[in-house]
Amino acid sequence: MASPPLPSTILQAEFRAILSRYPSVLKAVSDKKKSTKQPKDGDLQTLAQIDNWRDGLPGTTSSGKGTKGELVDRMIVDASQVKDIVLWKLKRGKFRPTIMPLVSSNPVKELEATVNEALSMPLPDQVTVDGADDDDDNALAQVTSMMKVLVKLKGIGPATATAILSTIFPDTIPMFSDEAFRWMMMEKSGNSTGWSRKIAYDTKEYSEFFKRVRRLCRRLAFEGEVFDAGSVEKVGWVLGQEAVLGIAHSNEETPGPSRRIKSEKSPEGVRQQELKEDKTLPSSELSKLVTDGLETISSLSKTRAKRKNSSAEVLRRSKRNKEA
């Protein structure tokens, strides 16, 4: 299978095309995971069904703090919605049967109060073209503070915390999914790489992932189109799931930037490349090569004749000197 486009070089057209495949890949994964047996908890929702619910999560709002301390409307979620988000995460990724019982063991009031406390905290700004690394550090600090509140709950680790946050704030907070993380780290060396890269699921790894997501968003925005953190996560998830499902797509339809620049700046280089690829020369060039070759042969023949006459003259003189 062909290698996926890399985060550092992916083009807008490629990114958009992969993002458009999310619904079809989601359905394929949902159908594959659909069980014919009724679960013990009576949950019959498919991944596709709960994913649609998540994208349009209903809820009430209240006032919270913005990045500059201003009051902004924030969503409030209840315990059942939190559990549905956790269930969605488990269906979408690797299912871990111990997570849901742990989350359900949290007292309802404590669960709701803790989650909504995190949701009311200052949010990171969305990535802009003129952003800088300092902005990413500040954004990360804000998200990390929210995560620290959430992980106090039973069954909520860094990955599940980001699943909750990304559901409410998909523009700025990417979910810590296996597929998205591995794609964003595809160019980083290590003991394990590619789609088999091991994941520690800790704050340190999420921090690097978070910054890489923002850098990609900034590069795409600089090139003229704005994509949010949630879209980056979806692209990584699609690529990872396609690798598992054995779905191949060609990413060679659009020439890379370096090739386009070379073609525009160096016409002679393009001409030489064409000659290498097509060994047949035009008739005018072939005729010139033949003429030049004949002239060269003629010149060599004259030079050899002169050298031969000169050698003969030297021998005659030498003979006369000996006779004298």
Give per-residue burial for 194-220: e unless 16+ CB within 10 Å, then b: eeebebeeebebbbebbbbbbbbbbbb
pLDDT computed for residue 79 by the predictor = 96
Burial class (CB in 10 A: 0-12, 13-18, 19+), 287: exposed
- Helix ranges (H only) for 21-122 are 22-33, 47-55, 79-92, 99-104, 108-119
Query: Which residues, other chains included, contact 289 with Cβ-Cβ below 8 Å and sequence gap of 6+?
Result: 281
How far is it, in rounded angstroms, from Cα 44 to Cα 27?
15
pLDDT computed for residue 73 by the predictor = 72
Ramachandran area for residue 182 (φ above 0: left; ψ -120 to 50: alpha; else beta) = alpha
Residue 242's nearest CA partner among 9, 13, 27, 6 is 27
Query: Which residues, other chains included, contact 319 with Cβ-Cβ below 8 Å and sequence gap of 6+?
Result: none
pLDDT computed for residue 238 by the predictor = 98
DSSP annotation of 202 reads S
Cα first-last separation, the chain: 90
Query: Which residues, other chains included, contact 293 with Cβ-Cβ below 8 Å and sequence gap of 6+?
Result: none
Residue 76, strand partner residues = 60
Ramachandran area for residue 215 (φ above 0: left; ψ -120 to 50: alpha; else beta) = alpha
Residue 226's nearest CA partner among 72, 51, 19 is 19
Contact 173, 163 (CB under 8 A): no
- 65: enclosing H helix or E strand: strand 60-65
- Helix ranges (H only) for 246-282 are 257-265, 267-277
DSSP SS3 for 75: strand
Contact 203, 262 (CB under 8 A): no
How far is it, in rounded angstroms, from Cα 164 to Cα 137?
21
pLDDT computed for residue 24 by the predictor = 96
pLDDT computed for residue 277 by the predictor = 41
Mean pLDDT for back-to-back runs of 10 residues, the chain (324 residues): 89 96 96 65 78 73 59 82 94 92 97 96 87 87 97 97 94 96 94 92 97 95 89 97 89 41 37 42 52 57 54 49 42
